[in-house]
Amino acid sequence: MRFTENDTVKEAVNAKEGRQIVASIRDLHKSFGDRDVLKGVNLDLFESENLVILGRSGTGKSVLIKCMVGLITPDSGTINVLGKNVFELSPKELNKLRLQIGFSFQGSALYDSMTIRENLEFPLKRNLGIYDKNKLKDLAAEALEDVGLLHTMDQMPAELSGGMKKRVGIARTLILKPKIMLYDEPTSGLDPITSMEINELILSVREKYKTSSIIITHDISSAKHTSDRIVALIGGVNKVEGTFEQLKETTEPELEPFFKY
């Protein structure tokens, strides 16, 4: 399945007829100095879908999802998330929208001066104004139980392994019950067994929380296990799109090696 820039959207919608679009990106451009990173990306994320964005390092995958939450402002193009144009929102409205988007960072980004419990309680206190100790503890325990790390509640982030940190990072985003999950390289730097655990976790999050997810990765095994659909970002544009099985047959020179090795 190969889309040109112009018909990508139309065909994607046709292919997924009947499913609601929760996020759409149109003609997104972003450059850093002389380097053009995104050169007109178009894509849609459907309800309850796991969309994998595959590509080599430095192709702008992380930049793309950072634009979706307003961390990076693109040079041009539009991003609609849950019916709202991200770049037309006031700071207050943007904060409100961000509560519905969970972002799992590549390096976990746990607050290293706080315990795991405080990490999880922090967004609850700050966003929802929950200060009841028992309620906070229950919610933190529930989120940690979902990622299988209840026993780490009173530990510091430095005491956890890389895989555990990633899971706690996911738990911290789940605590706000987001509608969309954005995973930035969820398996990078992990051994194959831990990677598989993270892949299973991504699937179970979708099941339990009914989230739509974008998973940024260059790990083909992770893409295979977690994806409903894959978009390959090559040279700053979404060149190839389809299921894992469809992409396996690709003749795109930059994509072929992913499936070969």
Among 24, 42, 173, 222, binds other proteins (CB under 8 A): 173
- Among the listed ranges 1-9, 119-127, 204-212, 213-221, the one in contact with other proteins (CB under 8 A) is 119-127
* Least distance in angstroms from the C-beta of 136 to other proteins: 15
86 DSSP 8-state letter: G
The reply on whether position 69 binds other proteins by CB under 8 A is: yes
Judged by beta carbon, residue 128 or residue 150, the one nearer other proteins is 128
Judged by beta carbon, residue 13 or residue 72, the one nearer other proteins is 72
Whole-number Å distance between alpha carbons of 231 and 240: 6
Judged by beta carbon, residue 35 or residue 96, the one nearer other proteins is 96
Whole-number Å distance between alpha carbons of 28 and 79: 8
The helix (run of H) or strand (run of E) holding residue 41 is: strand 35-46
β-pairing, 212-217 with 180-184? parallel
- Which amino acid would we find at residue 4? T
Numbers of helices and strands, H then E, in the chain:
10, 10
- Judged by DSSP in three states, 50 sits in strand
* Least distance in angstroms from the C-beta of 103 to other proteins: 4
Q: How many residues bind other proteins (CB under 8 A)?
A: 24
79 to 118, contacts with other proteins by CB under 8 A? 95-96, 98-99, 101, 103, 105-107, 109-112
Whole-number Å distance between alpha carbons of 3 and 87: 26
The residues of the shown chain that bind other proteins, judged by CB under 8 A, are: 66, 69, 71, 95-96, 98-99, 101, 103, 105-107, 109-112, 122-123, 126-127, 169, 172-173, 176
